[in-house]
Structure 1
């Protein structure tokens, strides 16, 4: 029988590459997006799709109901991929901005996962794959909102994996990064909405560093991979009989995992402060 998967955040990047690759592998892909215009575009490309905004529980419920109606009440896999970033110094992040990031990167995926688990319990199998980041392993300046949400997602996923040991449901983490996506460009709107950088004690640092990263064309990271690399790893996580708890996609992810284990905090802080 054709296997089915629900993927979030499919407008571009990792989500779109994953949806495309899995469809080519014969999966029935339900590719969701936060914006209706993006969902309409995917529909015109032949995907089964729906609008799903992690910050809007109503869209989560409606999208999942639509998927289950189409499959007859089953779902083989869920890939929580959608995420946002809010760049800025920790001291300049307002509560509302941090809350928006957590609504998207943690609370929404948790909500969707809780709704999917009973489906997978009834059918007797399932895989839940959460997309973390190298920034779920280590931190970096200007990224504390994203880092905090990914650290939290890692903890939530690890706990769920242990709790699901007595069920036929596999819970898996992907740890990509750096990957060529639009997350930096997309983060600019949140930065402009929430961060009053000109009033910051770090205004000159913003001018020298973060503003250049946000508004100038970024240079190519020599370790950066295309989103298709994550899609290939996702396929492994979904199809290996006994999947690993974690799949690290890039060289920096593997290196940072080792560095976190081996280096003293002072040395690791020195390295990360130059990220």
Structure 2
């Protein structure tokens, strides 16, 4: 029997390429997207795809119900991937902007896991893979809302792993660094929604941020394609002893080492230069 997996955030990027890769590998993939136009597009490409909006609790519950109907009541794995980045200095972000960031990047994931865990417990097995970020353990300026959501996700996931240690439900984090996706386009939209550039002490820095977000391609020398996340996802799904963390891209691996070795003061000097 083909193993079933629900993947969120499949319209583009990491979720999109992983959904297709696992489908080709023989998994029963249930891809999900927020917008119905993307659901229709992925269905036309041969994927089972459902509508699921991580900012809407009712949509999440309906997505879980639909998923279990498609998989005959079994779910072998969940890949929590759907997220976006809210740029802006902490002092310029209204509380509602952080609420919306956490609704999608954290609270929606929490609800989804909690609604699928009873099925995994009943069947005696499961895999939960969370797509975090280098920004889940190394903060960078003007990414405070996203940093906070990913830091929270890392602590939440570590806790879940400890609480499920005596079960056959395995928990893993994937921590990508710079990946070439449409992340910047969505971030720019969120930036313009909430940030008043002209009235900010960070106006000059924001102009540089906008230039970065408007580029079609990343100028980061270490950027990798979204396909670079397929191999760690497969290991997290298929290894008898999956890792707690899979670090993807050189920056993630380097900063993980630097955080262990350097003082906060020295590490800050490196993080201040990061873009």
Q: TM-score, normalization: structure 1? A: 0.97
Aligned equivalent of 1:241: 240
1:4/1:28 contact within 8 Å kept: yes
1:145 matches 2:145 = yes
Over residues 109-166 of structure 1, what are the superposed CA-to-partner deviations in whole Å (9 max), with x where a residue is unaligned?
A: 0000000100000111000000000111201111111110000000000000000012
Aligned equivalent of 1:15: 15
Determine the C-alpha separation between the residues in 2 that align with 1:233 and 1:255.
18
Determine the C-alpha separation between the residues in 2 that align with 1:60 and 1:18.
21
Over residues 168-221 of structure 1, what are the superposed CA-to-partner deviations in whole Å (9 max), with x where a residue is unaligned?
A: 1101111111111111111111111111121112212222x2121122444432
Unaligned runs of 5+ in 1: none
- Give the length in aligned residue pairs: 274
Structure 1 segment 162-181 matched on structure 2, within 5 A? 162-181=162-181
Shift in alpha-carbon separation, 1:125–1:219, aligned structure 2, 3 A: closer
Aligned equivalent of 2:190: 190
Aligned equivalent of 1:256: 255
Determine the C-alpha separation between the residues in 1 that align with 2:51 and 2:152.
25
2:79/2:131 contact within 8 Å kept: yes
SS at match of 2:222: coil
Shift in alpha-carbon separation, 1:42–1:219, aligned structure 2, 3 A: closer
Shift in alpha-carbon separation, 1:70–1:219, aligned structure 2, 3 A: closer
Deviation at residue 223 of structure 1 after TM alignment: 1.2
Aligned equivalent of 2:227: 228
Q: TM-score, normalization: structure 2? A: 0.97
Aligned equivalent of 1:44: 44
Determine the C-alpha separation between the residues in 2 that align with 1:261 and 1:186.
32
Determine the C-alpha separation between the residues in 1 that align with 2:182 and 2:217.
11
Aligned equivalent of 1:93: 93
Aligned equivalent of 2:104: 104
1:21/1:232 contact within 8 Å kept: no
Determine the C-alpha separation between the residues in 2 that align with 1:29 and 1:266.
45
Deviates more, 1:31-40 or 1:156-165: 31-40
1:138/1:256 contact within 8 Å kept: yes
Over residues 46-66 of structure 1, what are the superposed CA-to-partner deviations in whole Å (9 max), with x where a residue is unaligned?
A: 111111111101111111111
Determine the C-alpha separation between the residues in 1 that align with 2:184 and 2:107.
21
1:56 matches 2:56 = yes
Deviates more, 1:147-156 or 1:222-231: 222-231
Aligned equivalent of 2:125: 125
Name segments (4+ residues, structure 1) moved above 3 Å.
216-220
Determine the C-alpha separation between the residues in 2 that align with 1:216 and 1:253.
22
